Amino acid sequence: MFRTLQNRLVSAKPVFLAAQRGYAVKSVPLTAETYSTKVSRNPNFKKLDEQDLQHFSSILQDPHGLITGEDDLLFYNEDWMRKYRGQSQLVLKPKSTEQVSSILKYCNDQKLAVVPQGGNTGLVGGSNPVFDEIIISLAGLNKIRSFNEVSGILKCDAGLILENADNYLAEHGYIFPLDLGAKGSCHVGGNVATNAGGLRLLKYGSLHGSVLGLEAVLPDGTIYNSMESLRKDNTGYDLKQLFIGSEGSLGIITGVSILCPSRPQVFNVALLGVSSYEAVQKVFVGARKELSEILSAFEFMDGKSQLLTGRHLKIDHPIESAEYPFYILIETSGSNKEHDDEKLETFLANTMEEGLVDDGIIAQDETQLKNLWAWRESIPEASTIGGGVYKYDVSLPLKDLYGLVEAVNEKLVEADMVGFDDESKPVVEAIGYGHVGDGNLHLNVAVREYSKTIEQVLEPFVYEWIQSKKGSISAEHGLGFQKKNYIGYTKNDVEIKLMKDLKKHYDPNGIMNPYKYI
């Protein structure tokens, strides 16, 4: 039988808020210097001058709308992983779509390059400048515009924080169809711009399906508005799809209209210890079949990721019986407690009887449920505690998913780089975890500091390995700066040409988030 938690584990750290990070550690090297052989400033872009600042002041009419102080600029210039640092001298914080439009029109006319920024939680260096691009932060555009209790359609500003959107919806019996570890900081607009996947894509699908309409400003200031879109509308090209996952390369999203499902009344979470990746796959197949419509998340974590997370959270793992090579987190959500409890318990008991699961725990209350999720949601942050982390976010056929972690570990061992407690080794650990239900692996290589030597061992090796299995080099985080030169490992020449044509058409001066994407 499954053990229960009985209030043993109640002190898991809450989900990390990027904005609360300290900056006491080493300063982040400039992206332009680290990658000087890969990128140089486009000489066609104008450099910011006093007249530009005056013009922006006249548009924003608010002294807090312009940030120019070096210390204040740091948060916006640096990325969440502290891997990339830009040199912007100006952050603009518009409060309306019209202000965004006036800013972009002026920047386009003057050839001033810009970077749209949401919560700055992106993991591919997409939200930070490389040189002196102006950062346009959406943080001031953060209102709920409307919510229709009958249709479940939420209309909001792009800068609304995801958690605030979900809390609002909870009061009305609805749920945001996306959930992820950075929810306390990331913006709904940033989520759409990256086409974020998250922890419940298995149940609610991708934003390409749930986003019904958008409001976005093109580089020349034109406001595209499809916020009144209907659930079904087959008149012409579905233009909003172009912006979903465009990572700020075509325009700035200022408003989002999204279809939200009813909030499930019952949630269950189980954490399981298993002995092989083979067993992980079998449990997944069984869960999809047996738990069917109530299965809302199926996540896996390797044993090393849990050791790292334990060190980070400074608490014992909830499954104390042994250290397992793999762990699975299953979430069910539905409307009938008795039914859901029984389904999950029966399923888990069967998997144990079949020898697929060795040990496991089911959360007994809301606190325990959150604590079990913390063992999954805290991994991205835990992976940075060595000093830095190389993150790869990949789609692979399920059978090959963990093979990449094994191949990378072999490569790092061959290069004599790995040593958890050995300070002389540059790599702490290579770990794997992710959204099994979506065929999405997160490979994190925790390092003591970022270095060209490690990067050259990892790249293009990782990308070539993914290509050999016909996977994608980005399942959810996007291309940003990190993968700009590697898109060819996943997309063919025709696809890349069509993308470049679109970019040229909508952004002929190339001012939108330059040096990234394609």
Binding-site size for ligand 2HG (CB under 6 A) equals 8
**Please, what is the minimum distance in Å from the beta carbon of residue 347 to ligand FAD?**
25
* β-strands 427-435, 440-447 pairing: antiparallel
Closest by CA position to 433, among listed 389, 376, 486:
376
For the chain, what percentages of helix, strand and coil (3-state, to nearest 5) are there?
35, 20, 45
Candidate residues 134, 211, 252, 401; the one interacting with ligand FAD per rule CB under 6 A: 252
Here the tokens at position 76 are 């916006």
Under the criterion CB under 6 A, does residue 116 sit at the interface with ligand FAD?
A: yes
Binding-site size for ligand FAD (CB under 6 A) equals 40
* Residues sharing a CB contact under 8 Å with residue 316, sequence separation 6 or more, in sequence order: 9, 310
**Please, what is the minimum distance in Å from the beta carbon of residue 469 to ligand 2HG?**
19
Under the criterion CB under 6 A, does residue 380 sit at the interface with ligand 2HG?
A: yes
Report the alpha-carbon distance of residue 191 to residue 207 in Å, rounded.
Answer: 9
Under the criterion CB under 6 A, does residue 203 sit at the interface with ligand 2HG?
A: no
Closest by CA position to 450, among listed 44, 17, 31:
31
Under the criterion CB under 6 A, does residue 395 sit at the interface with ligand FAD?
A: no
**Please, what is the minimum distance in Å from the beta carbon of residue 500 to ligand 2HG?**
27
Under the criterion CB under 6 A, does residue 214 sit at the interface with ligand FAD?
A: no
Under the criterion CB under 6 A, does residue 273 sit at the interface with ligand FAD?
A: no
- Contact assessment for residue 180 and residue 198, using Cβ atoms and an 8 Å cutoff: yes
Under the criterion CB under 6 A, does residue 304 sit at the interface with ligand FAD?
A: no
Under the criterion CB under 6 A, does residue 476 sit at the interface with ligand FAD?
A: yes
Q: What is the dihedral of CA 114, 120, 124, 130, to 10 degrees?
A: 40
The verdict on whether omega for the bond into residue 325 sits within 30 degrees of 0, i.e. cis, is no
Candidate residues 86, 129, 177, 181; the one interacting with ligand FAD per rule CB under 6 A: 181
Closest by CA position to 214, among listed 261, 174, 250, 185:
250
User: Per-residue x/- mask for ligand 2HG, residues 311 to 350, rule CB under 6 A?
Assistant: ----------------------------------------
- Contact assessment for residue 211 and residue 240, using Cβ atoms and an 8 Å cutoff: yes
* β-strands 91-92, 134-137 pairing: parallel
Candidate residues 34, 99, 191, 226; the one interacting with ligand FAD per rule CB under 6 A: 191
Under the criterion CB under 6 A, does residue 439 sit at the interface with ligand 2HG?
A: no
194 binds, among ligand 2HG, ligand FAD, none (CB under 5 to 8 A by kind): ligand FAD
Q: Nearest-CB residue to ligand 2HG? A: 380
Query: In the β-sheet with 211-217, what is the strand arrangement from edge to edge?
Result: 144-148, 153-157, 252-259, 211-217, 223-225
| Residues of span 374-393 touching ligand FAD by CB under 6 A | 380-381
Q: Which stretch binds ligand FAD (CB under 6 A): 84-92, 195-203, 229-237, 360-368?
A: 195-203
- Which residue lies nearer to ligand FAD by CB, 126 or 426? 126
Candidate residues 15, 32, 115, 123; the one interacting with ligand 2HG per rule CB under 6 A: 123
- Contact assessment for residue 375 and residue 13, using Cβ atoms and an 8 Å cutoff: no
Candidate residues 125, 181, 245, 360; the one interacting with ligand 2HG per rule CB under 6 A: 181
- Which residue lies nearer to ligand FAD by CB, 257 or 351? 257
Q: Count the neighbouring beta carbons within 10 Å of the beta carbon of residue 421.
A: 6
| Residues of span 444-483 touching ligand 2HG by CB under 6 A | 444, 476
- Contact assessment for residue 412 and residue 457, using Cβ atoms and an 8 Å cutoff: yes
138 binds, among ligand FAD, ligand 2HG, none (CB under 5 to 8 A by kind): ligand FAD
| Placement of tokens 């486009």 in the chain | 42
Here the tokens at position 79 are 């990325």
* Residues sharing a CB contact under 8 Å with residue 457, sequence separation 6 or more, in sequence order: 411, 412, 415, 417
- Which residue lies nearer to ligand 2HG by CB, 340 or 438? 438
User: Would you tell me which residues interact with ligand FAD (CB under 6 A)?
Assistant: 16, 18, 80, 115-123, 126-127, 138, 158, 180-182, 186-187, 189-191, 193-194, 196-199, 247-248, 252-253, 380-381, 476-477, 480, 513
**Site residues, ligand 2HG (CB under 6 A):** 123, 181, 380, 391, 393, 442, 444, 476
